[in-house]
Amino acid sequence: MQTEIPSKTRKKQEMHELQALGAALVALPDGSLASISLPDSLAQAIAEMRRITSREGKRRQLQYIGRLMRDLDPEPIRAELDRIEGRSAAEAARHRRLEQLRSRLLEDDEALTEFAREHPAADLQALRALIRNARREQLEGRSPHAFRELFRLLREAAAT
């Protein structure tokens, strides 16, 4: 049985995908980059890329990063990058659940009782105030400051 050899075009596509992944790693803040386990050679190449100011030098360094990444399995790095950037399916689902919870809280007072039962450590006084203010904002057509703050508070309470 003969194995199929990837075409030159396919190899170039893969190379460009790895370079794009490398560029995304370079663009990450230091703290986020440190949370991803990378081989020392790749971490050093990324650090060097950040120091280079020449356009051509950056292009060549990005090619080098892509070359280093060919020896790695890029999927764990992609998954970690997606998690950091908040693009994972689980993170998106969590975000939708929090938005639905916020909508229920604004529509029904009984939803706050249910939330308090599930999250006893939540600051109920702050939640009540934000719900009241968000309802008032919606009625008056004002900017949704309390609406957004309510989401932040729900996210923090759900994380604990």
Q: Do domains 8-85 and 89-159 have the same CATH topology?
A: yes
CATH 1.10.60.30 describes domain 8-85: yes
Residue 149 has a CB neighbour count (10 Å cut-off) of 15
Pick out the chain residues at pLDDT < 50: none
Per-residue confidence (pLDDT) for residue 127, from 0 to 100: 92
Per-residue confidence (pLDDT) for residue 87, from 0 to 100: 64
Report the length, in residues, of the chain: 160
Q: Any idea where the domains of the chain sit in the sequence? A: 8-85, 89-159
Per-residue confidence (pLDDT) for residue 126, from 0 to 100: 92
Per-residue confidence (pLDDT) for residue 9, from 0 to 100: 92
Per-residue confidence (pLDDT) for residue 97, from 0 to 100: 92
Burial label for 53, CB within 10 Å (0-12, 13-18, 19+), is exposed
Superfamily of domain 89-159: PSPTO4464-like domains (1.10.60.30)
Could you tell me where the DSSP H helices lie in the chain?
8-27, 30-34, 40-51, 55-69, 74-85, 89-107, 110-118, 124-140, 145-159
Q: 92-116: per-residue pLDDT in tens?
A: 788 899 999 999 999 998 998 998 8
Q: Which two tokens stand for residue 22?
A: 């490398």
Residue 116 has a CB neighbour count (10 Å cut-off) of 14
How far, in Å, CA of 13 to CA of 70, rounded?
12
